[in-house]
A and B are shown apart, each in its own frame.
Chain A
Amino acid sequence: DGGITQSPKYLFRKEGQNVTLSCEQNLNHDAMYWYRQDPGQGLRLIYYSQIVNDFQKGDIAEGYSVSREKKESFPLTVTSAQKNPTAFYLCASGNGYTFGSGTRLTVV
């Protein structure tokens, strides 16, 4: 079945650590997106990529980095520069119609 796979489902990060969230799609979509969701808020765009080897900052890119070396994959790294990384992270592809099931990141 086609879809988007995000892993891990839960992730714990220590202060000062970088962590990478995985997003893989087999839908042959060109565009991929990363959103952050905080309680009681809508989704905010972190980064997006409309084609391999190209990506753009979204509204809240500070403290995050991405790469797009393959069409199927768009990993997100949460760096130590992100001061409040605890949130639910959602990956999407295509024209935004298809979302993964999310990764819940917690700082411990």
Chain B
Amino acid sequence: GDSVTQMEGPVTLSEEAFLTINCTYTATGYPSLFWYVQYPGEGLQLLLKATKADDKGSNKGFEATYRKETTSFHLEKGSVQVSDSAVYFCALSATNFGNEKLTFGTGTRLTIIP
């Protein structure tokens, strides 16, 4: 079945450091890929998405590129801030047609220290 594997946490970085959180997936067909962010005590917020190979999703300085050849969707940010401290989830949905359930990775806790 479909699965998502993401980088084990926790990850601790200094402010203004470069961030990479790795995510790889296994799926049949052509899934859509997502990154979600969860702040303490809250639900998930969609951070960015990509629906086909070589698409780049971006939002709030975060980027991720859909790499079909390596089945990866790594999250990057050039200069992190304390406010980026949260848990980040990589996810996929089985098709591009909407109304499809998501398969999540286990999440990566990110802490940014001033």
Instruction: Give A contacts to B, CB under 8 Å.
Output: 6, 30-31, 33, 35, 40-45, 48, 50, 58, 90, 92, 94-102
Contact of B44 among A30, A95, A99 (CB under 8 A): A99
Contacts A92-B102, A99-B43 known; 11 new A-B pairs at CB < 8 A = A6-B43, A33-B101, A33-B102, A35-B104, A42-B105, A42-B106, A43-B102, A44-B104, A97-B34, A97-B46, A100-B43
Q: Does B107 contact A (CB under 8 A)?
A: yes
Query: Which of B59-67, B72-80, B92-100 has 4 or more CB atoms under 8 Å from chain A?
Result: B92-100
Whether the pair B107, A30 counts as a contact (CB closer than 8 A) is no
Q: Does B45 contact A (CB under 8 A)?
A: yes
How many A-B pairs fall under 8 Å by CB?
58
Query: How many angstroms between the C-alpha atoms of A45 and B43 in the bound complex?
Result: 15
Q: Does B89 contact A (CB under 8 A)?
A: yes
| Min CB gap B12→A, angstroms | 16
List the B side residues contacting A94 at CB < 8 Å.
98-99
Q: Does B69 contact A (CB under 8 A)?
A: no
| Min CB gap B49→A, angstroms | 8
